[in-house]
Amino acid sequence: MSPARIEDGKERGWIVPVGGAEDKSHNAAILRRFVEVSGGEDAVIAVIPTASMLPDTGDRYAALFKKLGAAEAYALPYSERSDAEREDLLEQLERATGVFLTGGNQLRISTILGGTPVAKQLRRLNARGVTVGGTSAGAAILSEHMIAYGENGSTPIAGAATLTPGLGLTNRVVIDQHFRQRDRLGRLLSALCYNPFAVGIGLDENTAAFIDPQDEIHVLGSGGVTLLDPGAISHTSVATARPGDPICVTGVRLHILTAGGRFNLHTRAATPPAPRPDDDDDTSLPKDGTP
């Protein structure tokens, strides 16, 4: 499931994985920004609630996107694989300038939508400029390789991460969600040891990685984004480790970025947030700078 080819003279749309539990009732900064990169007041947002078992999830998100300024928002009820063949729903999806996949169980998305006209259409839409994002389970499935499930903990363990095909909007990242809250560093490292090409993105709750058309990540939200760059890995024991064994891995680069931070997926360069205006006015230290 590789990304669709981008036509000459066009650019890919934004890809927006969210770590789950995003703010919906205060300033809703992440969802508000999603509306902005989907067209602002002209945005037409299709919500895909397939991951959720709650019948009102799609309608609740649609109402929220309209409240945040979208011109139109609606839920597409893909609950069975046969729904992904419905021409009326495909026509509704084709109209969207932004597509948002809700949280729940990512295996529901992959088993219901994987290999269907909807999955193919999502790749085509993103390749022609449509924003596609999702929260929690809806974030995990955006990339080519998806972590279906795995063990929590900080140490990478052989067999701790089970990978399945995702939607394939990008092959440059592997995404994990609820990252710090559920202690998922080990399983994301395990996933990268299998194939040290993609960058690992660990998303805290209420935190998003807005990936722009030039493949630069822009961090937004109240938590952090953990970025694991395996490009300089010099050794991993994953090929010889038995199931349950800890994995030895050397040379991984780790960055933790907060709101305003950026990471370029081509150059692998991380840029910290700009200082806040009041950072130079800290009066907690004596004037000579000593503790």
Contact (CB, 8 A) for 46 and 97: no
In the three-class reduction of DSSP (H, G, I as helix; E, B as strand; rest coil), residue 130 is classed as coil
pLDDT at 165 over 60: yes
In a domain, 179, yes or no: yes
Q: What is the pLDDT of residue 2?
A: 72
User: Which residue, 96, 86, 67, 266, is CA-closest to 75?
Assistant: 96
In a domain, 286, yes or no: no
Residues 6+ apart with CB under 8 A from 281: none
Q: What is the pLDDT of residue 1?
A: 63
Q: What is the pLDDT of residue 7?
A: 80
- pLDDT mean over 61-80: 98
Q: What is the pLDDT of residue 234?
A: 95
Buried b (16+ CB within 10 A) or exposed e, 49-76: bbbbeeeebbebbbebbbebebeebbbb
Contact (CB, 8 A) for 15 and 201: no
Measured between alpha carbons, how far is 187 from 148 in angstroms, rounded to an integer? 11
- pLDDT mean over 191-211: 96
Contact (CB, 8 A) for 31 and 24: yes
Measured between alpha carbons, how far is 291 from 286 in angstroms, rounded to an integer? 7
Measured between alpha carbons, how far is 256 from 277 in angstroms, rounded to an integer? 21
In a domain, 284, yes or no: no
Per the structure, the complete domain to which residue 131 belongs is given by 15-272
By percentage, how much of the chain surpasses pLDDT 90? 90
Q: What is the pLDDT of residue 195?
A: 85
Active site residue 136: yes
Q: What is the pLDDT of residue 289?
A: 41
In a domain, 277, yes or no: no
Q: What is the pLDDT of residue 224?
A: 98
Q: What is the pLDDT of residue 66?
A: 98
- pLDDT tens digits along 101-160: 999 999 999 999 999 999 999 999 999 999 999 999 999 999 999 999 999 999 999 998
Contact (CB, 8 A) for 147 and 191: yes
In a domain, 35, yes or no: yes
Choice among 38, 52, 110, 136 that is catalytic: 136
In the three-class reduction of DSSP (H, G, I as helix; E, B as strand; rest coil), residue 177 is classed as coil
In a domain, 219, yes or no: yes
Active site residue 205: yes
* Amino acid at the residue 13: G
Q: What is the pLDDT of residue 287?
A: 44
- pLDDT tens digits along 256-291: 999 999 999 999 999 999 998 876 555 444 444 444
Identify the CATH number of the domain in which residue 29 sits.
3.40.50.880
User: Which residue, 43, 118, 51, is CA-closest to 88?
Assistant: 118
- pLDDT mean over 181-194: 96
Choice among 38, 143, 144, 178 that is catalytic: 178
Give the chain's domain count.
1
In a domain, 283, yes or no: no
In a domain, 290, yes or no: no
